[in-house]
A = this chain, B = another copy of it.
Amino acid sequence: MTQAQTDLAALHDRAQAEQELFDLLRIPSVSADPAHAPDMARAAEFLRAKLQGLGFTARVDPTAGHPLVYAERLAAPGQPTVLIYGHYDVQPEAPLEEWETPPFEPTVRDGRIYARGATDDKGQAYAHVRGAELLLRAGELPVNVKFLLEGEEEVGSPNLEAYLQEHASELKADVIVISDGSRFAPDVPTVTYGLRGLSYVEIHVQGASRDLHSGSYGGAAPNPINALAEIIAGLKDDQGRVTIPGFYDGVEELTQEEREMWARLPHSDEEFAASIGVPALPGEAGYATLERLWARPTLDVNGIWGGYQGEGSKTVIAAKAGAKVSMRLVPGQDPERITRLVQDYVPTLAPEGTKVEVRGLHGGQPVKVDLDNPYVQAADRALTRVYGKPAAFARTGGSIPIVAAFRTLLGAPVLLVDFGLNEDAPHSPNESFAVEDYHNGILTSAYLLQELAK
């Protein structure tokens, strides 16, 4: 342990760091549900006040949607400027009945904090706030630090690009740090150098102008649910490949080096399958599991509805049915182009007597970060100080649609240093964050700012 490490760790108030995070987790800041707008405002103010208290210049900025928090402390002349991005909004809690403890009452069990947003992204974002606090307790921040904490990540950050454009000079930074994903494994400190993009659409199928009695009309009326099933089934072939014409155009193929590097990572298909309780890991033929998760595009239905969903049997032919469908995209694919392809193709699959409409909901660019970047080396050193071993270089299957916007609009490289784990179950009932991962995140954040100063 170096002297710097000892000093910072000794200054770290674990109990206080936990209590503050719990207070933040108690605010049900669900961005997808307009009814939670007051909670969004409360969460933003919570963060602003905290950063102000630490000595940052902090404010809550309104947007056309939910507000975001901006804070800066520029007290290291001649040193680099680091922009830390996170989000305080969370996924909807549904299905509520599957939570073992209430989603907005953080509860520690077996060393894990259970709450909606525990890992995604309140816990990881707040680790950076406490990391800065640690350095300030020891003296001053060794680099210039800017925080940008938004409230619309879980609904596609519809207002962030405009904000970045409007505040480009204020947000100017040498490097952008984001912790909003998962390390590769519990014992593997990870720098993530690739994210998948996203195209998210809704498919709406219309049959008759009203619900029909299946006795009187069954056999002659179009059934929009059967039609929707046919359409969805037609979007993949028996090799698990997406059938939308042009979907794979431009897809960047994996290099042999990446395939070999990933093959050396500690991964077991059997354990992966067991961790989610399935007997097999279906997917596109010809690619290993990590390759499919990180470097191949997908098509998943995220929700479907139509007709009678209640108890018992209702003999109805519904007038309409719908589904939410998302495609994870990889470098070489453009979300807008993919959404257009889907909007052009899917209506051509409409079975006789039905009308099909595809609405684009949101998208995000896929990203790959340059591994030769010097800031990547600083992250590697910071992680080595916390974990006692060098970082692995992995990609992730998730999307942070605004990472591409950061690169384009602010012109700075993006460092993805994640504190969470897949088993934290972000987006699921019983989302959690290991208490130790939270504290390691706080230390990693502090060390990273030190390493970036060198």
Residues of A within 8 A of B (CB): 32-34, 91-92, 94-95, 98, 154-156, 182, 196, 198, 200, 207-223, 225-226, 228-234, 236, 272-273, 276-284, 289, 292-293, 296, 298-318, 321, 323-324, 326, 328, 351-353, 361-362, 396-399, 422, 425-430
Measured CB to CB, the closest approach of chain B to A115, in angstroms, equals 16
Task: Take A210-B429, A282-B351 as given contacts and tell me if A219 and B293 are in contact as well, using a CB distance cutoff of 8 Å.
Answer: yes
Measured CB to CB, the closest approach of chain B to A96, in angstroms, equals 12
Residues of B within 8 A of A429 (CB): 210-211
Q: Which of A222, A228, A298, A315 has the largest count of B CB atoms less than 10 A from its CB?
A: A315
Residues of B within 8 A of A273 (CB): 353
Residues of B within 8 A of A311 (CB): 32-34
- Is A284 a contact of B219 with CB atoms below 8 Å? yes
Task: Take A92-B308, A272-B220 as given contacts and tell me if A213 and B426 are in contact as well, using a CB distance cutoff of 8 Å.
Answer: yes
Task: Take A229-B229, A301-B223, A353-B281 as given contacts and tell me if A92 and B422 are in contact as well, using a CB distance cutoff of 8 Å.
Answer: no
13 A-B pairs (CB sep. < 8 Å): A32-B312, A208-B277, A214-B298, A217-B276, A218-B298, A219-B397, A220-B281, A220-B282, A226-B232, A281-B353, A302-B308, A305-B305, A305-B309
Measured CB to CB, the closest approach of chain B to A215, in angstroms, equals 3
Partner among B226, B296, B396 whose Cβ is within 8 Å of the Cβ of A300: B226
**Among all A-B residue pairs, the 8 with the closest Cβ atoms:** A215-B398, A209-B277, A303-B307, A233-B233, A229-B232, A219-B292, A303-B308, A32-B312
Residues of B within 8 A of A284 (CB): 219
Residues of B within 8 A of A217 (CB): 276, 293, 397, 422
- Is A309 a contact of B303 with CB atoms below 8 Å? yes
Measured CA separation A309–B95 after assembly (Å): 11
- Is B226 a contact of A301 with CB atoms below 8 Å? yes
Residues of B within 8 A of A210 (CB): 98, 276-277, 425, 428-430
